[in-house]
Amino acid sequence: MFERRQTRRVMVGNVPVGGGSPVSVQSMTTTKTADVDGTLQQIYSLAAAGADIVRCTCNDIEAAEGLARIVPRSPVPIVADIHFQYKLALAALDAGVDCLRLNPGNIRKPDHIRIVASECRDRAVPVRIGVNAGSLDPDIEERFGMTSEAMVESAKRELGYFDEVGFHDVKISVKASDVRLMVGAYRMLADVIDYPLHLGVTEAGPPPAGIMKATAGIATLLNEGIGDTIRYSLTADPLEEARVGRQLLEALGLRERSGLDLIACPSCGRAEVDVIAVARAAQDALSKANLPVQVAIMGCVVNGPGEAKGADLGIAAGRRRGHLFVRGEVVRVVPEAEMVDVLVEWAERIAEVGVEEALTDKDEAAAAEAEADRAALLDVQGDDATNSEAVVELIRNRT
Ligand code: SF4
């Protein structure tokens, strides 16, 4: 992992962005902003799913009025998304939003940009300069084509207008639906400015391909230390955007685990149980409780416990029984039908009292029982499931 790039810090409401703060997750509501109750309901669900900051469109005056009612009741800071009409940016500021997102490609009059920037400066409200490859200034696109350079140029031009009025409370995004274009633009920008960067692959599409595409771009940059806040732009329920954003940051070690981390082996000829079905049943049961525990589902007792010994808790199948292990120590051997229920009980216990305390409840006879199952299986299957050693022997005998 690269060191995080040093950036300025911008406060979006009470959420710090940049300057070494935790990378934040953003998403956007899909409701009409004028529908205050519907939008608030979605904002609450997004916050519960892991969004730190939520953006709402401010596309007409009814939306701006909606924001005036939403902002005071929102559990997270609200960003108003502004396109074309600078007066709606001013209305959103009146509504009390915590940040504006301006697209330089469609609010183009320098005077209008300066008016908005001056208002933001006076009210200490930050702005995201949200450049999109698909909506560049025509003259910039003419000069540079639809390239990473063009996106960087667009962001720099907007920054120039902000500079003129002494406004620097800014974060920037240079999004494209083409991952290479987007990665290139962020890398270039990171070399020339120290404003915090909001990462995203725009119009990534529906999952799972959309998640892959967005992850390819966002994770590549985060692993280079670039990026202070992220958004997955998926054609899906926005809760999915918040969940996967959060999961990515947790997987990269950029945020503490807040929920379940389920590890499952891919299964193979050694599997003693339908790993896919057990993993799904465990995921369903454990997701409901959303416990901050790492759980492993392993198909066999021969390799499973060893391979998953780093997990807080795991289960491996063998001879119609489940071996439950905590940080690699077998704590129970139970009938296969009870595997998932016992797993959930132990996950709850670990979440409540921690691993060390939970281990004091272990069945002292379990390790010996588990070893007997393992030895019996090895006796039947041998310890070379892939038969590689026999093949190596055959090759040697030929030469
Ligand atoms: S844990 Fe066992 S069943 Fe799962 S992939 Fe490894 S060897 Fe195969």
How confident is the model over 93-109, as a mean pLDDT?
A: 94
Ligand 1 atom with the shortest distance to the CA of 266: 5
Give the pLDDT of residue 375: 86
Higher pLDDT, 55 or 299: 55
Report which residue type is found at 314. Answer: G
Does 300 contact ligand 1 (Cβ within 6 A)? yes
Fold for 261-381, please state it.
Sulfite Reductase Hemoprotein; domain 1 (3.30.413)
Q: What is the CATH number of domain 10-251?
A: 3.20.20.20
Does 218 contact ligand 1 (Cβ within 6 A)? no
The lowest-confidence range among 37-41, 61-65, 99-103, 278-282 is 278-282
Q: Is the distance from CB of 328 to CB of 304 less than 8 angstroms?
A: no
Give the pLDDT of residue 255: 94
Q: Is the distance from CB of 20 to CB of 45 less than 8 angstroms?
A: no
Ligand 1 atom with the shortest distance to the CA of 265: 4
Give the pLDDT of residue 1: 58
Does 212 contact ligand 1 (Cβ within 6 A)? no
Does 267 contact ligand 1 (Cβ within 6 A)? yes
How confident is the model over 369-376, as a mean pLDDT?
A: 88
**Statement: residue 203 has pLDDT above 70:** yes
Q: Which residue has its alpha carbon closest to ligand 1 atom 8?
A: 268
Q: Is the distance from CB of 306 to CB of 290 less than 8 angstroms?
A: no
pLDDT digits (tens, 9 = 90+) for 165-182: 999 999 999 999 999 999
The conformational region for residue 353 under phi > 0 = left, psi -120 to 50 = alpha, else beta, is alpha
Chain mean pLDDT for the chain: 92
How confident is the model over 226-242, as a mean pLDDT?
A: 96
Higher pLDDT, 18 or 305: 18
Does 106 contact ligand 1 (Cβ within 6 A)? no
Q: Is the distance from CB of 79 to CB of 55 less than 8 angstroms?
A: yes
How confident is the model over 372-389, as a mean pLDDT?
A: 74
Q: Is the distance from CB of 390 to CB of 384 less than 8 angstroms?
A: yes
Give the pLDDT of residue 386: 57
**Statement: residue 122 has pLDDT above 60:** yes
CATH 3.30.413.10 placement within the chain: 261-381
CA–CA distance, 186 with 177 (Å, rounded to integer) = 13
**Statement: residue 379 has pLDDT above 90:** no
How confident is the model over 245-267, as a mean pLDDT?
A: 89
Residues 6+ apart with CB under 8 A from 175: 130, 131, 132, 133, 182, 200, 201, 202, 233
**Statement: residue 315 has pLDDT above 60:** yes
**Statement: residue 83 has pLDDT above 70:** yes
Residue among 273, 301, 303, 309 whose CB has most ligand 1 atoms within 8 A, to mutate: 303
**Statement: residue 372 has pLDDT above 60:** yes
Residues 6+ apart with CB under 8 A from 370: 301, 305, 318, 323, 330, 333
Give the pLDDT of residue 383: 63
Judged on CB neighbours under 10 Å (0-12, 13-18, 19+), 386 is: exposed
Report the separation in Å between the CA atom of 300 and the middle of ligand 1, taken as the mean of its atom positions. Answer: 5
First vs last C-alpha separation in the chain: 45
pLDDT digits (tens, 9 = 90+) for 13-30: 999 999 999 999 999 999
- Of 189, 86, 173, 81, nearest to 129 (Cα)? 173
Does 378 contact ligand 1 (Cβ within 6 A)? no
**Structure confidence at residue 376 as a pLDDT band (50, 70, 90):** confident
List the beta strands (DSSP E) in 168-266.
Answer: 170-175, 198-199, 229-231, 261-264
Does 265 contact ligand 1 (Cβ within 6 A)? yes
Give the pLDDT of residue 70: 95
CA–CA distance, 282 with 292 (Å, rounded to integer) = 14
CATH 3.20.20.20 placement within the chain: 10-251
**Structure confidence at residue 270 as a pLDDT band (50, 70, 90):** confident
Does 303 contact ligand 1 (Cβ within 6 A)? yes
CA–CA distance, 182 with 264 (Å, rounded to integer) = 33
Helix (H, G, I), strand (E, B) or coil at 35: coil
**Structure confidence at residue 105 as a pLDDT band (50, 70, 90):** confident
Ligand 1 atom with the shortest distance to the CA of 268: 8
